[in-house]
Amino acid sequence: VGIYVGGGQMIDAPYTGAVVRYDSIYNPYLVGAGRP
């Protein structure tokens, strides 16, 4: 799960129990995105 925070950056936790990290949205592992 990730949340876009602006400036091409997001906060994400790639799986349950993982450390939350601050990362670029230009990530080769990003599969898709959506918004409600």
**For the chain, which residues make up each domain, given as ranges?**
1-36
Is the pLDDT score of 32 beyond 80? no
- Taking the model in full, what pTM does it have? 0.55
pLDDT computed for residue 26 by the predictor: 77
Instruction: Provide mean pLDDT across the span 1-21.
Output: 87
In sequence order, the 6+-apart residues with CB closer than 8 A to the CB of 12 are 1, 2, 3, 20, 21, 23
pLDDT computed for residue 31 by the predictor: 67
Query: Which pair of structure tokens corresponds to residue 32?
Result: 């898709």
Instruction: Provide mean pLDDT across the span 18-28.
Output: 82
